[in-house]
Structure 1
Amino acid sequence: MRLSVQSAPFDLGAETARFASGVTGAGAVVTFTGIVRDDSGSLAAMEIEHYPGMTEKAIAGIVEEASARWHLADVLVIHRFGRLGPGEAIMMVATAAAHRGDAFAAAEFLMDYLKSRAPFWKKEIGADGAEWVAAKEADEVALKRW
């Protein structure tokens, strides 16, 4: 398992290649990358805050739970913080497993939990000011299937 909470951008292709090349015994690698999206057309930036130490511990716990539920060969989670512009990558999850079902399910599980339970706070900044991003009912509904 590799977990990184960082302000610096990451190279999706390089991270995927590094992850896949380090996995043994896997027949499937699944990746997902979250991107800052500008639904309103007026987003200047998103600021993401977290508490160092607490955030890594919470994410490690989510990864351990995924590893206990599915037969995973490896997991990678990268999550950024700081000021990000529209179109920038916020985070990446990669899972490796002997079979694609476990890799897909674990990646989706990790995404649902990272989106709604990982201790990050997001503020959208636009021309009209800044606003904290509230939890969405759809994210809570997604968690219930697990």
Structure 2
Amino acid sequence: MRNWSRLRTLSRPEMLFLAHCLAVVAAVRIGLTFSSYNRIRDLVIRLDARGAASVADLRRVAWGVAAAARIVPGASCLTQALAGQYLLARQGSASNIRIGIERDTGAEFRAHAWLISSNQIVLGGSIAGFAHLADHGQ
């Protein structure tokens, strides 16, 4: 109930952006279910994104994707990173997806993905405790 009351306080542009984020996160989630990461990523990097995003744009994308991910079942960190990268690329802003594995987990293997833009973590939380494997940029 609390989330619905928050939804009513959003402006029309915020509502439209949230709906757009929801559609993108859902499409990426479905794409990753029925296709490969590389194929979905290839669709994203076709967009010519070379500019730097403003802090406000990064926060907006982080908010929209995180909110949409709470609604879309199974929206993993990779789903969120790809969706955020797409949203930033649509506005011409470059970003990277960083893949890492958690250190000292014993026999259990845990991977994580972050969205990085302008040397800032947009989505994914802290990188502390993870070993860097790869960056996939545009």
TM exceeding 0.5: no
> Normalising to structure 2: TM-score of the pair?
0.26
Structure having the larger proportion of residues in helix = 2
Structure having the larger proportion of residues in strand = 1
> Normalising to structure 1: TM-score of the pair?
0.25
| Larger RCO: 1 or 2 (CA < 8 Å, sep 6+) | 1
